[in-house]
Amino acid sequence: MTLFQRAAMEGAGTALLAFTISRAASGQLSSFEQACMIGLSLSLLIHLCGRLSGAHFNPEVTLLLQHQRWGWAGLGRGGVWRECFAYGVAQLIGARVGFALDPLAAAPEPLALGGVVPEFAFSIALFALILVWSHEGRICPFAQPLAGVVIGLGLVVLVVLGGLTGSGLYNPAIALALVARGGEGVLPLVAAQLLAALALMALRPPASQPAA
């Protein structure tokens, strides 16, 4: 697939994930039911898109997986940064479209600064799980058939523990889309997500280095 096609798939997958989150938050569901709905959606999207686009659906995941494959020096290569940029833009647009597709969406609640520490800790947990179940820059259900199931279940646990309305769901595309809907207190959560990604990039060495 071309970069445009892969980025379009990332945008569509992020839109479906955002729509699911919006419906879960606005429905009469318990926190456990909300978490299961979102985790199942992510799991299905990983199995549908993992072989084609890599099933990132999150700008931080794209950055992490590219770093894990190529290292810091590799991130400066033209093809790598173009993919990071194209995926990131598509994911941001997809998240905004996904929320806009829900006509019954309720206005988001302000996010408290007290959620920054859990957002950082849970982002590290989710990103680390994704790194373990990824392969060559992709979340890889065709190489590891349980990848989607394990990551989906991991997200279920984190949403149950961290809540749905009090977090950025460990995804800056989703968090920033909440700003467009009138959400408040989002930027500190995005900063916590970025710090979590940078911490993992510093702690976990890349699998390979780009050729000289």
**Which tokens is 117 given?**
């520490």
Residue 208 lies in a domain: no
Predicted TM-score (pTM) above 0.95 = no
Give dist(CA 46, CA 40) in Å, integer. Answer: 10
| Residue labelled with tokens 């479906």 | 16
Block mean pLDDT (10 aa), the chain, length 212: 96 96 85 94 96 95 94 84 96 95 70 76 96 90 90 95 79 88 80 95 75 42
**Count: domains in the chain:** 1
Whole-number pLDDT of residue 209: 52
CATH of the domain at 25: 1.20.1080.10
Residue 32 lies in a domain: yes
Radius of gyration of the chain (CA): 16
**Which tokens is 111 given?**
């996010």
Geometric angle at alpha carbon 57, from 54 and 58, rounded to 5°:
115
Residue 209 lies in a domain: no
**Which tokens is 43 given?**
């799991």
Q: Which of 175, 21, 27 is nearest to 104 (CA)?
A: 27
Burial of 1 (0-12, 13-18, 19+ CB in 10 A): exposed
Residue 18 lies in a domain: yes
Residue 211 lies in a domain: no
Q: Which of 180, 183, 209, 58 is nearest to 108 (CA)?
A: 183
Under 8 Å CB-to-CB from 64, ≥6 apart: which residues? 127, 130, 131, 197, 200, 201
**Length of the chain counted residue by residue:** 212
Residue 210 lies in a domain: no
Whole-number pLDDT of residue 169: 86
Domain assignment of residue 30, given as a range? 3-203
Give dist(CA 44, CA 111) in Å, integer. Answer: 28
